[in-house]
Structures are given as structure tokens and as C-alpha cells.
Amino acid sequence: MQQRQLGSFTVSAIGLGCMNICHAYGAPVSEAQAERLLLAALDQGVTHFDTAALYGFGASETLVGKALSKHRSQFTLASKCGMQGVDVAGDGKLVRVIDGRPATLRATCEAALKRLRTDVIDLYYLHRWDKQVPIEDSVGALSDLVRAGKIQTIGLSEVSAATLRKAHAVHPITAVQTEYSLWTRNPEIAVLDACRELGTAFVAFSPVARGFLCGPIDVSTLDPKDIRRGMPRFSPENHAANLKLLPPYMAIADEVGCTPAQLAIAWLLHQGEHILPIPGTAREDHLKDNLGASDVKLDAATLVKLDALINQQTVSGNRYNDQSNREVDTEVFA
């Protein structure tokens, strides 16, 4: 496994996103299956595990803590605050809430430390910028957690270059995490350059395009609660148009001699040494497939073909619906 820098941490070039084991893509896997997956990832050289208070409303952090706390010295642990489940109506039902107030961030961190069974979180992200709270206030609260020894470093998720610079002026930002893949190029507008300028790592989630770049998906067979059902790119019209990109894409994977998922992740690894993909999965065979991308070498001609085939102009549909777009702070193409 290649190694890359995540701030002061040396980690596997490919990490593991820990959302899929309990959240977003249908029914969660069993606790035993999740534990096997996490331990398999560690055994296969993954040293960067990424979770969040939001994922399963604490379930992902709990699973990571149970499975990996005995091996805490062997990996870099990242989690997120600022977006979590809250019992708003007082009826026991949790709903997703974005809340970047300092008191909330402190409380979320304390709860995360207990679930993760650790004394310190290596990299703690603001999952979303709460636009009702100045970014300087939220980052200031996180810097207090650094001084208190609760977290080691600070990250931001789904923010613009301008917001990154404002935050970095308060406290060094170790990483920015945003969706980035062949079919989501928004970071190329400004954030990637800002990260290079500031010495901030860029952590790319959804590197295989919500599974699209792994092969054809029949949306009608997805679980009713699968988040892709509400994403514009998977609507019938857009999905039909996007499926036309897959045959030439699969042909390139055949030419390279790798799987489609490996091609997508390898493309990301070739975009810069400061880029760290974190594909998520709940299956051990997919985990092994994803990690194999570390060995895939792409020549300049192949990179040119991929860039021309799948990009912001050839993909149909927005990556998020209107509500989700309002919640993020990332730049968008005109």
C-alpha cells in the first residue's frame, strides 16, 4: 500500500469510509459483518479510518470503537461533528440537524470519544458549515478541543476555498473532505489549489461515484432507503444518459488491466500527492478490490482519455438535490 501524508500523520493512500456499514445505502449490515470488515481493512494495510457522528446517528462510531479500539495505535482515526441526529420533536425519533454552535461541537466530541473508546480523535472535521454560525466561531471551538487534548487536528467538509482560508486563519486546517471523482469535479474549481497553497490534505469521498463507476446499477432494485434514489444523477432520465458513459469506461479498465472501481480510485491517486481517497463499502470483496487501486499505474494517454470521457460536461444531473445543495458550501460549475 502506498503511503501519503494526512497532515502530520503518515497513512495508507487509500482509507476506509465507514458510512456504508450502517447508513445511507439501505439496511445496515450485521454488527459481526461490520467488525469483520473493519478488521480486514486494518489487516490489509488501511491506516486511515473515517467515520462521523451522523453515520447511523452514532452507530458507525460505536462499531469502529468496538472493533478497532484494541488496535488504536495502528491507525489514524477521523470523525466529524456539526451534523448529527437530534430528537427535535421529543418523540424519540432522530432527525438530521446541522449545528455548528461551539457548545454543540463540544458535546458531540465528548459523546464521540465514548463511542469510539478513545481518549483522542486524530482528525476531527466540521461535517457541514452551519451558515448561521461564523466559520471562525466553529473552528475556534474545535481549536479549544485541540488545546484540551480531545482532538489532535481539525478538518472541514464540503467547504469552498474562501471558507477554508477564513478557517485556516483561525487554526491550521489539516484536511478538507469533499466528494471528488471523475463524475464530480467541483473541487477542481478552487479547493484543490487552495489546499495545495495552504498545505492542507484533500480527502476524497465517493471516489467511485456512489458505485456508478463500479458497473451498471439498476436503480429500481435499490433499497427504498438508499440515498441514491433521491439523487438527481440516478433519476430515470439522467441515469439513462449516464449509463452510456460506462461501456467506453469499462473498455479503458480492460485496456489498463484493472477493475472499474480500481480505475476510478487510481485516477484520483494520480491527481496529486495530497489527495487521499476513502471509498466506503460493507463488503470484504469490494474492500479488497478498492485497495488494489494502489498498484494501478495510469499513463498520460489514459488519463487524457478518462478526463475527456467523464467530466462535469458529460455527466447528466446535479450531484445533490436542492436541499443538500443549500447545505454545502462548495463551488459549483456555471
How far is the C-alpha of 65 from the C-alpha of 175, rounded, in Å? 22
pLDDT digits (tens, 9 = 90+) for 155-192: 999 999 999 999 999 999 999 999 999 999 999 999 99
Q: Is the dihedral of CA 327, 8, 68, 293 positive or negative?
A: positive
- Tell me the C-alpha to C-alpha distance, in Å, between residue 80 and each of 100, 116, 123, 151, 179: 11, 12, 8, 11, 15
Average pLDDT value over all residues in the chain: 97
Q: For residue 68, give the C-alpha cell.
A: 478497532
pLDDT at residue 291 tops 90 = yes
* pLDDT at site 92: 86
pLDDT at 23 over 90: no
| Three cell numbers written together for 18 | 465507514
Q: Does residue 26 carry a pLDDT above 90?
A: no
Residue 280 reports pLDDT greater than 90: yes
Q: Give the confidence band of 222 by pLDDT, cuts at 50, 70, 90.
A: very high
Q: Which residues are the active-site residues?
A: 55
Considering the segment(s) 3-209+271-295 as one domain, its CATH architecture is Alpha-Beta Barrel (3.20)
In the DSSP assignment, the letter for residue 295 is G
Q: What is the pLDDT of residue 64?
A: 98
Residue 223: band (very low, low, confident or very high) from pLDDT cuts 50, 70, 90: very high
Q: At what angle do helices 246-256 and 260-269 cross, to 10 degrees?
A: 80
Say if residues 256 and 303 touch (Cβ distance below 8 Å). Answer: no
| Spatial distance between the Cα atoms of 168 and 161, rounded to a whole number of angstroms | 10
List pLDDT tens digits, range 47-105: 999 999 999 999 999 999 999 999 999 999 999 999 999 988 888 888 999 999 999 99
Give residue 89's pLDDT: 86
Average pLDDT over residues 274-299: 97
In the predicted model, is pLDDT for residue 125 greater than 90? yes
**Residue ranges per structural domain of the chain:** 3-209+271-295
pLDDT of 88 reads: 85
Contact 99, 53 (CB under 8 A): no
Mean of pLDDT values over 259-268: 98
- Distances 113 to 63, 67, 267 between C-alpha atoms, Å: 13, 14, 35
